[in-house]
């Protein structure tokens, strides 16, 4: 494969790699956009005299690979157990509802909703990520927290971005799960019941 004329498979590999690099690196995405618009990257401004040798293209700083930590399932299993205990959540989700009327399903959903809501409020402090009302116009500055705000729609260029809030998001400010005893088997979400 020649650098000036890559093969078809080489172009596919280049396209896929470039796609993911654009998603993960805003500076690189801006450089690609400038190239697509016919601008040169790393070239001297038009008013400056041309240098004898062209300046090398500016290379974006490589982003460090994220450090992945393994989540233990105990807290998730504990939450499922609480939702089952207080709202019969798993019973509701595992039930085959094809034979029930919409009114019956609605009545059951109301009970499950109330129980789930009570459980979440008892064990978590949950707040909106954004305080503005949905539909409000906001401007996100350079360096906004991309883990708290997801851009949707026609995302082009770099921050600042202006748009409307379509969902305020949720964040957990406090977690108050009960402590687990050493011998507790968190995989048993709800014990089987045997009536005597």
pLDDT single digits (tens) 94-106: 999 999 999 999 9
Handedness of CA 3, 61, 36, 43 (dihedral sign): negative
pLDDT single digits (tens) 118-158: 999 999 999 999 999 999 999 999 999 999 999 999 899 88
Domain for residue 21, yes or no? yes
Q: Is-contact 149 41, C-beta < 8 A?
A: no
Residues 90 and 186 in one domain: yes
Domain for residue 196, yes or no? no
* CA-based R_g, the chain, Å: 27
Assigned token pair, 86: 């207080």
pLDDT reported for residue 110: 94
Residues 103 and 143 in one domain: no
Structural domain boundaries enclosing 34: 1-46+54-59
- Alpha carbon 153 to its chain's center: 15
> How many structural domains comprise the chain?
3
Taking residues 23-28, report their average pLDDT.
72
Residues 186 and 155 in one domain: no
Asked if residue 115 has pLDDT above 90, the reply is: yes
Tell me the residue ranges of DSSP E strands in the chain: 124-128, 137-140, 161-164, 170-175
Asked if residue 24 has pLDDT above 90, the reply is: no
């Amino acid at each position: 494969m020649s650098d000036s004329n890559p093969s078809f498979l080489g172009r596919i590999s280049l396209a896929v790699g470039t796609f993911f690099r654009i998603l993960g690196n805003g500076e690189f995405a801006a450089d690609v956009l400038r190239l697509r618009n016919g601008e040169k990257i790393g070239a001297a401004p038009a008013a400056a005299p041309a240098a004898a040798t062209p300046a090398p293209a500016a290379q974006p700083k490589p982003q460090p690979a994220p450090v992945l930590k393994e989540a233990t399932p105990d807290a998730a299993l504990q939450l499922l157990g609480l939702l089952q205990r207080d709202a019969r959540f798993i019973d509701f989700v595992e039930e085959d509802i094809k034979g029930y009327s919409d009114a019956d399903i609605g009545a059951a959903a109301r009970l499950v909703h109330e129980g789930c809501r009570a459980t979440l409020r008892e064990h978590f402090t949950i707040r909106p990520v954004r305080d503005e009302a949905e539909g409000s116009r906001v401007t996100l500055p350079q360096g906004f927290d991309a883990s708290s705000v997801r851009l949707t729609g026609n995302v082009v260029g770099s921050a600042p971005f202006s748009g409307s809030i379509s969902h305020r998001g949720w964040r957990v400010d406090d977690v108050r799960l009960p402590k687990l005893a050493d011998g507790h088997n968190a995989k048993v979400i709800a014990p089987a019941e045997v009536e005597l």
